[in-house]
């Protein structure tokens, strides 16, 4: 960090996501694993503490817990699945939402600053889990053949167009849904992390390491822009968690709905 | 903020846009894929773009039937 000695600037890229194991020798224990484990501990602690002393007149913590739970229960699960059957899926949706939310926001929290879902494997697993659940819910409700028919016959289409529409409906309901779920989450987290890295590391380089006064001034502006980007990222991280869970709920809802 | 038990659904179809997008991708994928396969089969190279456009058109037609009458 000594000014006046120009060094080469290495821009952050995909290689920034290859993190070394935290404990040398334990290869699987990397930063995303740590962040995910921490997030689980925080969520479990929060809801345990909020529910421990349930009272009619809630404490502040209980109120916060109920607010968080009711948000997923009412404005995600009940709206998308319908008031008859939504309660079965609330535990999954609620857990999923806060898990994704915390792991995304970890990309902004100082000192942690790594969104778990920027490693695509995590996004794949979350999407496959939702995929299995909405298909299983539909098969349980309608039987294998009934569900298959339900997911491949688009409603309201004239009969002569059906043969052309069935492959579209099948591919988009069975194949594109899990892929788009995982890619949307992964790509947003990945791009956001790189973007933030470019602004912050670039600003740091220009101010401290480029050794040029003029670049230093630009670097300060870059750094301030980086802060604004961090604010934007916080928004994107929350929205992505919300979209993932809303879509999961809608897929469940459409899998078990009577009319299509 | 729905801490009260209001039955009013707040955002009615907040995920519809994303579902429409997945239909569009699906349509282009299916008919573009068919076009690509036929191109390989016959050694031509115009069927892939035809398939992509056809898939997108058919998907829009389907979306019209499915969502068009709702509002």
CA A97 vs CA A20, A101, A118, A194: distances in Å:
28, 6, 16, 24
Q: pLDDT grade, residue B20 (50/70/90)?
A: confident
pLDDT greater at residue B7 or residue A150: A150
pLDDT surpassing 80 at residue B12: no
Task: Answer whether B18 sits within 8 Å of A75, measured CB to CB.
Answer: no
Candidates A227, A9, A20, A254; CA nearest to A142 is A254
Q: Is residue B12 part of a domain?
A: no
What whole-number percentage of chain A has pLDDT above 90?
54
Nearest-angstrom CA–CA distance, A192 and A199: 11
pLDDT surpassing 50 at residue B1: no
Number of domain units in chain B: 1
Nearest-angstrom CA–CA distance, A103 and A101: 6
Contact B2, A74 (CB under 8 A): yes
pLDDT surpassing 50 at residue B23: yes
SS3 B11: coil
Contacts of B55 in chain A (CB under 8 A): 168
The CA-based dihedral angle spanning residues A101, A103, A104, A105, taken in that order and rounded to the nearest 10 degrees: 80
Task: Answer whether A165 sits within 8 Å of B62, measured CB to CB.
Answer: yes
Please state, as a whole number, how many other Cβ atoms lie within 10 Å of the Cβ of residue B47. Answer: 20
CA angle (A62, A64, A65) in 5-degree steps? 65
Instruction: Write down the pLDDT at residue B69.
Output: 66
Q: Is residue B52 part of a domain?
A: yes
pLDDT surpassing 50 at residue B7: no
Q: Is residue B53 part of a domain?
A: yes
Q: Is residue B8 part of a domain?
A: no
pLDDT greater at residue A155 or residue A31: A31
Q: Is residue B33 part of a domain?
A: yes
Contact A44, A102 (CB under 8 A): no
Nearest-angstrom CA–CA distance, A78 and B13: 12
Nearest-angstrom CA–CA distance, A203 and A112: 20
pLDDT mean over A22-35: 89
Nearest-angstrom CA–CA distance, A223 and A207: 9
Instruction: Write down the pLDDT at residue A5.
Output: 57
First to last CA, chain B: 26
Nearest-angstrom CA–CA distance, A206 and A199: 10
pLDDT surpassing 90 at residue A45: yes
pLDDT surpassing 90 at residue A39: yes
Nearest-angstrom CA–CA distance, B32 and B54: 8
pLDDT in tens, A185-234: 999 999 999 999 999 888 888 888 877 888 888 889 998 999 999 999 99
pLDDT in tens, A125-146: 999 999 999 999 999 999 999 9
Q: Is residue B60 part of a domain?
A: yes
C-alpha of A254 from chain center? 21
Q: Is residue B11 part of a domain?
A: no
Q: What is the ipTM of this complex?
A: 0.72
Task: Answer whether A79 sits within 8 Å of B61, measured CB to CB.
Answer: no
pLDDT mean over A170-196: 92
pLDDT surpassing 90 at residue A16: no
Instruction: Write down the pLDDT at residue B5.
Output: 47
Q: Is residue B10 part of a domain?
A: no
Mean of pLDDT over chain A? 89
Instruction: Pick the residue from chain B with its C-alpha nearest to A260.
Output: B66
Burial class, A66, CB count within 10 angstroms (exposed 0-12 / middle 13-18 / buried 19+): middle
pLDDT surpassing 50 at residue A36: yes
Identify the domain containing residue B42 by its residue range.
Answer: 17-67
Instruction: Pick the residue from chain A with its C-alpha nearest to B4.
Output: A70
């Amino acid at each position: 960090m000594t000014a006046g000695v120009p060094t080469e600037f290495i821009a952050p890229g995909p290689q920034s996501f290859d993190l070394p194991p935290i404990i040398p020798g334990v290869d699987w224990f990397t930063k995303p694993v740590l962040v995910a484990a921490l997030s689980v501990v925080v969520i479990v602690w929060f809801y345990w503490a909020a529910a421990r002393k349930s009272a009619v007149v809630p404490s502040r913590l209980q109120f916060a817990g109920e607010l968080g739970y009711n948000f997923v229960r009412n404005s995600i699960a009940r709206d998308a699945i319908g008031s008859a059957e939504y309660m079965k899926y609330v535990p999954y949706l609620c857990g999923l939402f806060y898990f994704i939310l915390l792991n995304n926001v970890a990309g902004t929290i100082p000192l942690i600053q790594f969104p778990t879902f920027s490693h695509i494997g995590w996004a794949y697993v979350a999407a496959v889990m939702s995929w299995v659940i909405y298909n299983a819910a539909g098969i349980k409700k309608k039987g294998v053949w009934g569900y298959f028919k339900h997911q491949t016959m688009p409603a309201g289409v004239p009969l002569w167009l059906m043969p052309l529409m069935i492959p579209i409906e099948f591919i988009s309901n069975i194949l594109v849904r899990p892929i788009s779920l995982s890619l949307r989450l992964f790509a947003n987290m990945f791009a956001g992390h790189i973007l933030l890295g470019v602004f912050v590391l670039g600003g740091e380089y220009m101010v401290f390491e480029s050794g040029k006064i003029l670049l230093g001034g630009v670097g300060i502006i870059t750094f301030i822009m980086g802060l604004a980007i961090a604010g934007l990222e916080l928004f994107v991280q929350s929205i992505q968690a919300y979209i993932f869970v809303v879509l999961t709920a809608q897929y469940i809802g459409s899998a078990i709905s009577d009319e299509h | 903020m729905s801490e009260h038990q209001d039955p009013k659904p707040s955002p009615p179809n907040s995920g519809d846009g994303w579902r429409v997008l997945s239909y569009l991708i699906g349509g282009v994928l299916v008919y573009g894929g068919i076009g690509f396969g036929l191109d390989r089969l016959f050694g031509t190279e115009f069927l892939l773009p035809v398939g992509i456009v056809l898939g997108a058109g058919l998907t829009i037609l389907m979306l019209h039937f499915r969502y068009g009458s709702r509002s």
